[in-house]
């Protein structure tokens, strides 16, 4: 399990009975988490004075209950990076703090390469990985089908004072964009992807991770440069084992390029020292 201990603006305070209690900056949020299957005694003082609580409804959606005067959005920081947080539909906040472990990896690998690195960030959401790679000195192509998420990512770039760096924001279906990049002959040293379990492209294209991920990986193999650094898949799909991701990476990338494949979970340490699993990653990286 991989995690960071220095995300000072975010804390997982506690977990119980399908919910996690978090501190984002100075605001205390309570959100559902399907991996919190335990029930335990809680500190009611800790679970008091919650600023906002997301409630699920029987139809699969839900709503935020606001208990205090919490703003629509606010800023938190991780080291030199800055991010906008907002209370979105389906319990999201616009940031996955457990990904700080991967941001650190991206920054170190890009900085230590001692050359200009081109990064392709697919299913790029609000741009946590894009901001980290920009900060490290890379040029970035950020692709997400949602124009709203791309605007949010642009704001995160500005908040981190990186707006003068080389980044392009593309609102498009990921597979269609990758196919066009292949035809154009474009190459990348780093490819990062955070595919959802299910989703829709900019024109209603259907994405299913079990049906489409391997095909996307095969396409992305054609975009790797002659001297690539790494390709990483981040997954939040419950029930998709890490070994499946590892095998998919091997057959699409690893048996064609000299390198190593690693897989692991990412998580967050909660207040009592236990670690909450928050997803997994599979990474191919070159031996150079």
Supply the pLDDT for residue 101.
98
pLDDT digits (tens, 9 = 90+) for 18-53: 999 999 999 999 999 999 999 999 999 999 999 999
Mean pLDDT over all residues of the chain?
A: 95
Supply the pLDDT for residue 53.
97
> SS3 for the chain, per residue?
CECCCCCCCEEEEEEECCEEEEEECCEEEEEECCCCCCCCCCCCCCCCCCCEEEEECCCCCEEEEECCCCCCEEEEEECCEEEEEECCCCCCCCCCHHHHHHHHHHHHHHHHCCCCCEEEEECCCCCHHHHHHHHHCCEEEEEECCHHHHHHHHHHHHHCCCCCCCEEEEECCHHHHHHHHHHHCCCECEEEECCCCEEECCCCCEEEHHHHHHHHHHHHHCCECCCCCEEEEEECCCCCCHHHHHHHHHHHHHCCCCEEEEEEEEEEEECCCCEEEEEEEEEEEECC
Supply the pLDDT for residue 59.
74
- 147 with 36, same domain: the answer is no
Q: Among 55, 86, 117, which residue terminates a domain?
A: 86
- The verdict on residue 92 lying in a domain is no
Q: Among 22, 56, 86, which residue terminates a domain?
A: 86
287 pLDDT exceeds 90? no
Tell me the mean pLDDT in the region 233-251. 93
- The verdict on residue 256 lying in a domain is yes
Supply the pLDDT for residue 237.
85
Tell me the mean pLDDT in the region 172-201. 94
Supply the pLDDT for residue 85.
98
- The verdict on residue 182 lying in a domain is yes
pLDDT digits (tens, 9 = 90+) for 48-77: 999 999 998 877 789 999 999 999 999 999
22 lies in which domain range?
A: 10-86
Domain count, the chain: 2
230 pLDDT exceeds 80? yes
Supply the pLDDT for residue 145.
94
pLDDT digits (tens, 9 = 90+) for 78-136: 999 999 999 998 899 999 999 999 999 999 999 999 999 999 999 999 999 999 999 99
288 pLDDT exceeds 80? no
């Amino acid at each position: 399990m991989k995690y960071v201990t220095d995300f000072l603006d975010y804390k997982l305070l506690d977990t119980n009975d399908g919910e996690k209690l978090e501190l984002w900056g100075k605001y205390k949020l309570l959100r559902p988490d399907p991996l919190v299957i335990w029930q335990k005694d809680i500190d009611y003082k800790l679970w008091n004075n919650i600023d906002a609580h997301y409630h699920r409804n029987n139809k699969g959606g839900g709503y935020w209950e606001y208990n205090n005067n919490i703003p629509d959005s606010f800023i938190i920081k991780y080291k030199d990076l800055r991010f906008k947080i907002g209370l979105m539909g389906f319990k999201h906040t616009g940031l996955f703090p457990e990904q700080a472990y991967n941001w650190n990896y991206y920054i170190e690998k890009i900085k230590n390469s001692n050359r200009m690195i081109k990064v392709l960030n697919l299913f790029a959401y609000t741009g946590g990985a894009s901001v980290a790679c920009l900060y490290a000195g890379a040029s970035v192509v950020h692709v997400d089908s949602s124009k709203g998420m791309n605007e949010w990512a642009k704001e995160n770039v500005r908040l981190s004072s990186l707006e003068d760096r080389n980044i392009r924001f593309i609102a498009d279906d990921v597979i269609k964009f990758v196919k066009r990049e292949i035809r154009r002959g474009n190459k990348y040293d780093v490819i990062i992807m955070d595919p959802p379990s299910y989703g829709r492209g900019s024109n209603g294209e259907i994405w299913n991770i079990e049906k489409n991920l391997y095909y996307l990986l095969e396409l992305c193999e054609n975009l790797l440069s002659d001297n690539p650094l790494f390709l990483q898949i981040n997954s939040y799909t419950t029930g998709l084992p890490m070994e499946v991701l590892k095998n998919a990476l091997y057959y699409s990338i690893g048996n064609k390029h000299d390198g190593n494949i690693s897989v692991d979970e990412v998580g967050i340490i909660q207040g009592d020292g236990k670690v909450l699993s928050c997803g997994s990653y599979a990474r191919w990286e070159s031996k150079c």
